[in-house]
Amino acid sequence: MMFSPSRRAGRLVRRLLADEGVRAKAEADPQFVTGGRLVVRTAAVVAVMAAIAIAVWVPASTARPPDDAVYDGDLPGDYGVFVTDFSSDATATVGPGERVRLDVQETMTATVGGDYQDVPQVLRQWHDDIAGHRMALTVASVTVDGAAVPFTQRRMQGQALLQTKIPDDWPGEHAIVIRYRIDDPVATVWEDGEWRQASCAGRR
pLDDT tens digits for range 89-135: 999 888 777 778 889 999 999 999 988 989 999 999 998 887 777 88
Higher pLDDT, 110 or 183: 110
67 backbone dihedrals φ, ψ, rounded to 5°:
-60, -25
Residue 30, pLDDT score: 58
Higher pLDDT, 11 or 176: 176
* CA pseudo-torsion sign 154, 155, 160, 163: negative
For residue 25, give every residue at least 6 positions away whose Cβ sits within 8 Å of its Cβ, in sequence order, or none.
none
Residue 203, pLDDT score: 42
Q: Domain residues of the chain, as ranges?
A: 6-57, 81-199
Higher pLDDT, 84 or 44: 84
Architecture of domain 81-199: Sandwich (2.60)
Number of CB atoms found within 10 A of residue 200's CB: 22
**pLDDT-based confidence at residue 186 (cuts at 50, 70, 90):** confident
- Angle (CA) 54-110-156 rounded to 5° is 110
**pLDDT-based confidence at residue 64 (cuts at 50, 70, 90):** very low
pTM of the model: 0.60
Higher pLDDT, 62 or 150: 150
Residue 72, pLDDT score: 60
Higher pLDDT, 5 or 53: 5
Q: Tell me which range, 51-55, 93-97, 158-162, 168-172, is most confidently predicted by mean pLDDT.
A: 168-172
Alpha-helical regions (H) of the chain: 6-20, 35-57
202 backbone dihedrals φ, ψ, rounded to 5°:
80, 5
